[in-house]
A and B are shown apart, each in its own frame.
Chain A
Amino acid sequence: MTLWLLVRRSLWQHRLSTVVTAASVALAGGLWLSVWTIKDQASDTFAGLDSGFDAVLGARGSSLQLVLNSVFHLEASPGNLPQEDYRDIRDDARVAAAIPIAVGDNYRGYRLVGVTTNLFTDIEYRPGQKYRTRYGRWFDPRRKEAVVGSFAARRLKFKPSDTFHPYHGLVFDEKTRHQDTYVVVGVLEPTNTPADRVIWIPLAGLQRMDGHDPAAVNDLSAVLLKLRSAQAGFHLDLRYNKQGNRLTLAWPIDRIVAQLFEKFSWFSRVLELIAYLVALVAVGSVLTGIYNSMNGRRRDIAILRALGARRRTIFAAVVLESVAIAALGMAAAFLIYWLVFSAVAAVLRSEVGVALSAAHWHPVMLWAPISVILMSTLAGSIPAIKAYRTNVAENLAPIS
């Protein structure tokens, strides 16, 4: 009670320093929370985003590129594969489902992906969850119709019966407009997967878009596969990757995505290091803020001692003040974390279609505040030792 009164008044007396120091702790804490949650949630979310598939079969090349292109709808396709390879894998007994896709066009930067309707009717993009339309219906594979992902529909303000002309390539360029006119017949429910950023059209539509190479009219960009067993993955891996040299089987998808994050692990380690250093600097500022004010407080300390306060009470008051600044700072850190996280999540949502949640529990939300408060306890003990040693008689001036 008395300690709290001493701490409260001291914080108020040095309020400018209190606010500045707490703000630096808040920035450091916010950065710390953001780095850990975003890094872990992003890699978990990406690795878990297989959209219901185990593997991707595509042209010979990088399996990462194949996964990014066909599952995440990022990057260019590494090349095409002929229709026969699709039929071959589709009819393989070890394969539960094979969905062919074709890419190569966009509308205002949003990808058009040619696909068969069994993507919508047969595939669970997450266990127990199939694609559903929010408005309209699935496209007719024989017509120039489109089903639009929720995010793309919102951004493009698409609703059923709107029409559009696709543009060639994966990057929007006004000069590359196709003559074909497509009608929006459905908008998907949000899935929080990259599918939300895609405009889905019939496979044949993309293959036969005017201006596309007639020789490649039956070619596919990739085949998304659901396998019957892990054993099947080993066999197909052997067949396509080890024995064959024409195609690449990207399997298993989650390990390939995890490898992508491992490639960038040095970057997240640098971020971690920066976050630690910033936290250290912030705790240092708590120390210097209080330490520098010690000279001005010697008289107050002497007065308190003269009133009967013990040395350890004075010591505790100074340490508690440091802890209070850190605690105030860490409370504000959650606000900063929320702002940073929301900004990053918005970028990821629009660029990749992946939804992250700031409210998602992460252990750092417990150990960052605890560490900062423990470090501040240590930092606070340095000025507290100075306070502890204050000579009462000398500082109760003047002497008669």
Chain B
Amino acid sequence: MPVLEIRQLKKAFPAADRTVRPIIDIPEFALESETEAALRGASGCGKTTFLNLIAGLVPADHGSIRLEGQNLAALSEAGRDRLRAARIGYIFQTFNLLQGFTCLENVVLGMSFGRKPDWNRARSLLQRMDLGNRIDYLPRQLSTGQQQRVATARALASRPRLVLADEPTGNLDAANARAVLSLIRECCRENGAALLLTSHDPAVLAQFDTPQEFSEINRSPTEGGDP
């Protein structure tokens, strides 16, 4: 059964010249449970908007996004928040760790809005990321590679069915990028989560069997710039 099913998805944003600029126009996209998909695309081609639509952070203009059969369009904003908290983990290029919180607290917050926080699970995830001796550190006290591993632990904290990874290695050097990417993929498999990853980095995409071009699934003629 697909964890994610998308049909006739459309999203446009107002442009500076007061026209409406279509960003996303995806007739169809699906991702099976406990599988992975990598999308290749240049900066500004709408990859982040696509992931934000799936996460329910941005409402779609048209079409349906079904997460394990549940249509996001039919949900209120609070309903989408609940669904995101329970079923989706999000890994960002810029890590987006909360700077005032320790590693452990960051991971706990990854599961606090969907279920009862399980501090032991947060600890064991950090240990799995080889950060068992850093749980009380603040993000700024960690290297970038370590920070992305904390973000990965956080994304997996709520036992999500789908992990969205937006350029997860974009801010890392090649060695760290490889290590973090392997860890993300392994942990998604271990936790039974499907992985949808976007990147423009050939080295990252080369690790996947069949990376897809984002422009192949998105008919919108976006090129470069924002968003």
Q: Interface of A with B (CB < 8 Å)?
A: 1-2, 5, 9-10, 12-13, 299-300, 303-313, 392-393, 396-400
Contacts and interface: CB of A to CB of B under 8 A. Distances in A.
B117 A2 contact: yes
B101 A2 contact: no
* B52, B57, B100, B158 — most chain A CB neighbours (10 Å): B100
Contacts, number: 97
Given A307-B109, A308-B84, A393-B49, 7 more contacts: A13-B99, A307-B154, A308-B82, A308-B114, A308-B158, A311-B78, A400-B44
A306 B98 CA distance: 12
Interface in B173-205: 198, 200
B117 A1 contact: yes
Contacts of B81: 305, 308-311
Nearest to A394: B227
19 contacts: A5-B101, A9-B100, A9-B105, A305-B81, A306-B84, A306-B90, A307-B109, A307-B112, A308-B84, A308-B88, A309-B85, A310-B81, A310-B82, A393-B49, A393-B58, A396-B96, A398-B93, A400-B44, A400-B47
B85 A400 contact: no
A296 to B, nearest CB: 10
Contact of B113 (A10, A13, A309): A309
Nearest to A303: B96
A396 to B, nearest CB: 6
Interface string B99-132: 1110001001110111001000000000000000
A14 to B, nearest CB: 9
Given A2-B109, A311-B77, A396 B100 contact: no
B84 to A, nearest CB: 5
Contact of A400 (B48, B78, B113): B48
B167 A400 contact: yes
B130 to A, nearest CB: 23
B3 interface: no
A308 B113 contact: yes
A2 B92 CA distance: 22
A399 B226 contact: yes
Interface residues of B, number: 44
A310 B43 CA distance: 29
Contacts of B57: 305-306, 392-393, 396
B138 to A, nearest CB: 10
Nearest to A397: B94
B25 interface: no
Contact of A306 (B49, B78, B96, B170): B96
Contacts of A313: 113
Contacts of A397: 94
Contact of B100 (A13, A308, A312, A399): A13
A399 B85 CA distance: 21
A22 B119 CA distance: 31
B4 interface: no
Contacts of A300: 98-100
A30 to B, nearest CB: 30
B113 A9 contact: no
B65 to A, nearest CB: 15
Nearest to B170: A400
List of 5 A-B pairs having minimum Cβ-Cβ separation, nearest first: A308-B85, A308-B113, A13-B100, A2-B112, A310-B81
Contacts of B90: 306-307
A306 B95 CA distance: 12
B166 interface: yes
B100 A10 contact: yes
A97 to B, nearest CB: 73
Interface string B29-58: 000000000000001100111001001011
A312 B108 CA distance: 19
A399 B48 contact: yes
Given A393-B52, A400-B166, A2 B77 contact: no
A317 to B, nearest CB: 12
Contacts of A311: 77-78, 81
